[in-house]
Amino acid sequence: MIKNKKLVIVLPAYKAALTLKKTYREIPFDIVDDVVLVDDASPDNTIEVGQKLGIKHIIRHEKNKGYGGNQKSCYDKALELNADIVIMLHPDYQYTPTLIPVMAHIIASDLYPVVLGSRILGKGALKGGMPMYKYIFNRCLTLFQNILMSQKLSEYHTGYRAFSKEVLKGINYHANSDDFVFDNQMLAQIFYADFEIGEVTCPTKYFEEASSINFKRSSIYGLGVLRTSLQYFFAKLGLAKPKIFSAAK
């Protein structure tokens, strides 16, 4: 518990057998109540590693549902466990679990209902080994999104995210893509529902075992981001109402 609020960490996993143990052991269990591991049909022994670590809530997708599909299972289970605060932590050890208390306290203190771990605030991204083309891609997309969405985030593309239960229950994340653009659609939904987002500086690590998408997938993701931003822009003008902005069920 943190300020009498239940904190659940969700781990969307795919081929995380080599990094799951290191990630899990840095989770601050003095404040974390439950951990949910969702394995997206990994070909390695991610499930077995999770079981050996004693993770109680493990879900295995028999068929790969994609990064977005994995998150849907994560958030559904966290809400089923009556979480008040849910933090998504990638089990590939790209993001440090030691920021969990900071992110959770911001939400528990009612400062912001959503907190992102930003790799761009400070010099975390390039220092941690983010490829230059991805850094430039990130900065250009973020600038475009901030203009279209009238926001001032330092980045929209981090995978380190904390949510209050009110946010997860207030947006229709099941209407989103099962692919990587899910992350971006979710932020658009959050702003569309008039929730505010806070950010904290987050160091990151790029290494062989850390998950990353290639240039082709990055390009597809970028086009999806542009489409989502335009959908938000026109929806706010009342000129369209895409499914992702429909009421949560």
In a domain, 171, yes or no: yes
Look at the chain and report how many structural domains it folds into.
1
Q: What's the pTM value of the predicted model, to 2 decimals?
A: 0.93
In a domain, 177, yes or no: yes
In a domain, 183, yes or no: yes
In a domain, 245, yes or no: no
Distance CA 25, CA 53 (A): 9
In a domain, 221, yes or no: no
In a domain, 78, yes or no: yes
- Among residues 22, 168, 36, the alpha carbon closest in space to that of 97 is found at 22
- Condensed to tens digits (0 to 9), the pLDDT of residues 97-136 reads 999 999 999 999 999 999 999 988 877 677 777 778 888 8
In a domain, 223, yes or no: no
Assign residue 117 the CATH number of its domain: 3.90.550.10
In a domain, 45, yes or no: yes
Residues of the domain holding 185 = 7-133+153-211
- Condensed to tens digits (0 to 9), the pLDDT of residues 30-50 reads 999 999 999 999 999 999 999
Q: Extract the runs of DSSP E, i.e. beta strands, from 78-165.
A: 85-88, 114-118, 161-164
